[in-house]
Amino acid sequence: MDISFEQGPIRPPSEADSLLLRLTRNCPWGRCKFCYNYRGEQFEIRKVNELKKEIAAVKAISDSINELSVKLGQVGEVNKKVVDAICTDTYPQSFRTVAHWLYHGGKTVFLQDANCLAMKSHDLIEVLTFLKMNFPRIERITSYARSKTAAQKKLEDLKAMYQAGLSRLHIGLESGSDKILTYMNKGVNVGEHIEAGKRVKESGISLSEYVILGLGGRRWWKEHAIETARVLNEINSNFIRLRTLAVLPVMSLYQDVENGDFILSTEEEMVEEEKMLIENLNGIDSYLVSDHILNLLEEVEGKLPEEKDQIISVINQYLSLPFEEKMVFNLGRRMNLFRKLDDLNHPIRREIVSEAMKKISPDTPERLDKMIRELRGNYI
């Protein structure tokens, strides 16, 4: 039996310990100005029989690892001793991947790449059923999806996917402004976003909607914040996941920045935008998550509406800092030395950032902000 299986390039941070199974390759759209992950790559839907063979390969690897555990006197438990034994040149990467998954419980799976809903519904259901049959201990199966595709799926098909084991969909809302969605060439409109979100929720599948801070730039930041909050209020997703815009030369948006058509917001301006967005989230039962290193304020997280005031207080704490302190925190965060505002009081980390600030010695705030933007781009 072939004991290898294919994995794609990306997954949400929340799926770090999940088994990654590549049901589709690349993205069927791939033209968003702010994205480059699949640009120039052809979208493919993989055949069901091929996917079943790969799931069977994962099962065979899992069984072999369990047998090794018994031989090592670990009675089938996949612990550090077993993982260390697997992480040798004797075993291929596929064994290390499955060992990592089993070590972390072996209960979550993420289906790649960008839009597994593009599969025919009955094919996806067949794959989900086969996966659960081979691994009945799986508790959560998640995937990325496009709103346009989800909006076109029949509700009964989405319900059947949920019954077959599809637990959660991650959808890139990005913005609730049609103007911004059009400018960014997102390939979907607000109406489709809302229809897709409501349909997914009604099916029983948990929904994560992604929002990109800074996507409106300086020109549309208020519209971005207010309209995105309006759409989120209407969808009422289970999770709202914040991301921060970073622009690299490989993105088509880079040319708009270079020619001055799109003016990037500063870190502080994006925090103001973030505050306006959250202030306008009303009547929803969502969990706000800031689970990406690109985000300046990782502490902006909590249950809505219960913890809304607490979340906003974190933002206000940052905004009330003197300008120099904001710059120190911004640089420290982008150097991956600060994770929370209290880290400003950490003497060793603070000293490292202060020394870096002296070496940079930016002559203007704009120059420092540009350097910080460049550091931010390193985390994409």
Is residue 6 predicted with pLDDT exceeding 60? yes
When pLDDT is cut at 50, 70 and 90, the band that residue 358 belongs to is: confident
What's the rounded mean pLDDT across residues 115-121? 98
What is the per-residue pLDDT for 373?
A: 85
Is residue 2 predicted with pLDDT exceeding 60? no
**Tokens linked to 246:** 């970073």
What is the per-residue pLDDT for 377?
A: 82
Alpha-helical (H) ranges within 32-120 are: 48-71, 80-86, 93-103
Is residue 1 predicted with pLDDT exceeding 50? no
| Nearest alpha carbon to residue 166 among 185, 178, 153 | 153
For the chain, give the percent of residues with pLDDT over 70.
Answer: 98
What is the per-residue pLDDT for 357?
A: 86
Least confident span in 63-72, 286-295, 342-351, 364-373 = 364-373
* Amino acid identity for residue 20 in this structure: L
157-216, pLDDT tens digit by residue?
A: 999 999 999 999 999 999 999 999 999 999 999 999 999 999 999 999 999 999 999 999
What is the per-residue pLDDT for 189?
A: 98
Beta-bridged to residue 24, according to DSSP, are 45
**Tokens linked to 181:** 């969605």
Across the chain, mean pLDDT equals 95
What is the per-residue pLDDT for 204?
A: 98
22-80, pLDDT tens digit by residue?
A: 999 999 999 999 999 998 899 999 999 999 999 999 999 999 999 999 999 999 999 99
Asked if 2 and 53 touch (Cβ cutoff 8 Å), the reply is yes
pTM, two decimal places? 0.94
CB atoms within 10 A of CB 98: 25
CB atoms within 10 A of CB 290: 22
Is residue 11 predicted with pLDDT exceeding 60? yes
Helix (H, G, I), strand (E, B) or coil at 174: strand
**Tokens linked to 376:** 């931010």
218-254, pLDDT tens digit by residue?
A: 999 999 999 999 999 999 999 999 999 999 999 999 9
Is residue 363 predicted with pLDDT exceeding 70? no
When pLDDT is cut at 50, 70 and 90, the band that residue 371 belongs to is: confident
| Nearest alpha carbon to residue 143 among 235, 206, 187, 188 | 206
What torsion do the CA atoms of 91, 92, 95, 97 make, to the nearest 10 degrees?
130
Contacts of 210 (CB under 8 A, 6+ apart): 170, 171, 172, 173, 174, 241, 242, 243
The domain ranges of the chain are: 13-321, 322-380
Q: At what angle do helices 267-279 and 308-319 cross, to 10 degrees?
A: 160
Q: Is the dihedral of CA 33, 35, 36, 37 positive or negative?
A: negative
Q: What is the DSSP letter of 47?
A: P
State the fold for domain 13-321.
Answer: pyruvate-formate lyase- activating enzyme (3.80.30)
